Chain A
Amino acid sequence: MVSKAFRSTGYFIEYLALIFSIISVWTIMSNQGHLNTIILPAPNSILETIVELVADGALFTNMFISVSRVLQGYFLAAFLGISLGILIGLSKHLDRVTELIIQMIKPIPPIAWIPLVILWFGIGESGKVFLIFLGGFFTILINVVDGIHQTDPKLVEVSRSMETPFWKHISLMVIPGAAPNIFTGLRTGLSSCWMCVVAAELVSSTTGLGYLIMDARQFGQTDVVIVGMLTIGIVGKIMDSLLRFAEKKTLRWI
């Protein structure tokens, strides 16, 4: 947890030690001419590229486009994953009926869907959002179902013995009972969606971080490729931290 990491200086030093060591070794190797700048540009030239890309707006524009695609796909995945997950978690029959198909579709990587997605959705935005949706949906769904199955049956019995109305039972018993697993699903789902963004932007894109990377590759701009990758990493980390924070605030009872 970030807040803990910053609590003590020792922890803080450990937290950043590895990344600083890598950058130091990398800088020294580059300065001494051991590295081919096409294969791996020096850290300072990457820094310059960052400044350039920020200055001409390319980095943030593409980042925001990617983030907005991911959020659209992710919210769709979260909404459908949670609602279908609750239905499947509550009904043994539905669980049995859907299990095989879920287990079979789940291992297909989103990248394998690209040809079909182009046929179905064309090359517009909706296809990209659908690919991102696929990346997160199954993870969220399976965690929600697990969460409901793992809810303490003794507590379910209490709610039952009180003749709790259906919606109250769902909102005050089923969802909070499965909440720790739902959050696990939401977090892993978000990182899967984010990881799919490059694949989604392979579909004839002219914007986004995936486009930035693939475009730079064609022109041999290794520094831009690395900046794009770093941005994906940093944004992913920030999104995960935000969700962890939300989780901690929501699951106060644990």
Chain B
Amino acid sequence: MGGLSASALLKQEPYLVIDHVSKHFEQKKQRLNVLEDINFSMNKGEILCIVGASGCGKSTLLRAISGLDSDHGGQILIGGNEVVAPSKSRGIVFQEHRLFPWLTVEQNVGYVLTGISKEEKKKLVQEYVELVGLKGFEKAYPKELSGGMSQRAGIARALVNKPEVLLLDEPFGALDAFTKIALQKELKRIQRKSGTTMVMVTHDIEEAVFLADHIIVLDSKPGRIKLEVNVDLPVPRDRNSYEFLQVKKRIYEEFFEDEKIPEDFSI
């Protein structure tokens, strides 16, 4: 009664909470645990990366956060509300661009927008097409775009509705190394500009360290949290700096323990 307590004022309530989430499949009458008691939380405006090998359940976890799959144990809260169904307040970028082939770039980007005037819609679409650097390709069909450009359009489509959370499922996994680095930089720039909370699934450790404020490392079979890392490196991040490589090495060793080489402190 009578205002907020001091601790609540100082400590921000976590925005996205994953609370005892678990998921299993039945396969030939055998129970296959895909996710086992996953717990973590993150604040608004942060980037969280979930890193894991193929089949560790990281995409399953992302689908649960999106609401596309609500058949799981535990609870997922965003801004205090439980996620039970898909919502357009959560944008999704998939590994395949998943643009509608029959719509142009601008029609794809504007697909989610409803209940606003034509002028407003046009302005918003234009703004986001430009944000992802696709100016001049508004009228192009997806078949006319390269892989990187398609993924840019996919990001614009997911952001145009100003979602509370942007979910990215290995969005750069199918791109060549150079396009990938360019888009990682773009994504970081866009996130700093828009302040959107982002959850990204990836198997690329460097990508995670470059982008994330927090990294969750998932173990496979059953999928459970192996390691949580806070990345407190300044932005823009230098991929070749000592600190960057230190973080990368720490996560790398989680996956390839046999390659752990004791550090040599002798001078």
CB-based contact B96/A154 at 8 Å? yes
Q: Is the interface of B mostly helix, strand, loop or mixed?
A: loop
Q: Is B101 an interface residue when CB atoms closer than 8 A count as contact?
A: yes
Q: How many residues from A make CB contacts under 8 Å with B?
A: 21
Q: Is A155 an interface residue when CB atoms closer than 8 A count as contact?
A: yes
- B residues 83-104 near A (Cβ < 8 Å) are 86-88, 90, 92, 94, 96, 98, 100-103
CB-based contact A158/B98 at 8 Å? yes
Q: Is A168 an interface residue when CB atoms closer than 8 A count as contact?
A: yes
User: With A161-B68, A168-B114, A252-B141 given, is the CB distance from A176 to B102 under 8 Å?
Assistant: yes
Q: Which residue of A lies closest to B89 (CB)?
A: A163
CA distance A159 to B112 in the complex (A): 8
Q: Is A39 an interface residue when CB atoms closer than 8 A count as contact?
A: no
User: With A154-B94, A161-B86, A163-B87 given, is the CB distance from A172 to B143 under 8 Å?
Assistant: no
State which size class the interface on B falls in.
Answer: 20 to 34
User: With A165-B114, A168-B114 given, is the CB distance from A254 to B101 under 8 Å?
Assistant: yes
- A residues 164-217 near B (Cβ < 8 Å) are 164-165, 168, 172-173, 176-177, 179
CB-based contact A253/B96 at 8 Å? no
CA distance A157 to B59 in the complex (A): 15
- A residues 202-254 near B (Cβ < 8 Å) are 251-254
Smallest beta-carbon distance A35→chain B, Å? 54
CA distance A20 to B163 in the complex (A): 66
Q: Is A160 an interface residue when CB atoms closer than 8 A count as contact?
A: yes
Chain B residues with Cβ below 8 Å from A1 are none
**Chain B contacts to A: CB under 8 angstroms:** 66-68, 86-88, 90, 92, 94, 96, 98, 100-103, 111-112, 114, 141-143, 161
CB pairs A–B below 8 angstroms (15 shown): A159-B111, A160-B68, A160-B86, A161-B67, A161-B86, A162-B111, A162-B112, A162-B161, A163-B88, A164-B112, A172-B103, A177-B102, A252-B141, A253-B102, A254-B101
